[in-house]
Amino acid sequence: MRRTDQTQMIRKLVVSGMLAAIVAVLMMTGLGFIQVGPLQASLLCLPIILGVMTEGLGVGLVLGFTFGFLSLIQAFSTPSPLAIFFMNPLISVLPRVCIPIAVWLVAKEIKKVSRENAKKRVILRVLAAVLGSVTNTVLVLGAMYVAYSSGYIVIEVQEIYEQGMALLLLYIALTNGLPEAAVMAFATPPVMAALDRTVYKR
């Protein structure tokens, strides 16, 4: 193995470990959630997005799995009205593994854009971040609705939200999903710009 390849592998391992630790801290401490009135934005997608943009899809997949696996554990350890859904890895894990794939589909195009074209790089980063966030929201809520409507998971929705499951998930999408996408769109470009200048020198 060439020295440059070995260095890159070590860097990917270090970055994966650091960002995975950040995901864990954000989730387990509650610091990964911004609450403004009825709106709540999660920051948990941000480390995954940054991982894909800095080190590629492989690191992103590790981080997505970490996010999903911690969600699965939290569903069993921290009871909540909707925890039963996240006890199923098809709801808690699989959608989170799809986040880095969605981000990568756009982020890989950034390498083709010159540093002088800063505006286009910012636009692509915003699109990648929003796509990753929306992928998480749509797949998680969609899987929850399918599991409920098919009878695979049975809960008394009226005890949680009297208007029913469809409106409950729509409410979550509007109050959690949209703010999360907005935060990812605003946070990703400046963080990536700082990393480009200080860490990656590009």
- pLDDT tens track for 125-179: 999 999 999 999 999 999 999 988 887 776 665 555 546 778 888 989 999 999 9
Domains and CATH numbers, the chain: 3-198 (1.10.1760.20)
Q: pTM here?
A: 0.90
- The CA distance from 88 to 90, in Å, is 5
CB neighbour list of residue 149: distance below 8 Å, 6 or more residues apart: 165
Contact 109, 131 (CB under 8 A): no
- Give the model's pLDDT for residue 166: 80
> 33 — phi, psi (to 5°)?
-130, 130
Q: Tell me what the pLDDT averaged over the chain comes to.
A: 88
- pLDDT tens track for 101-110: 999 999 999 8
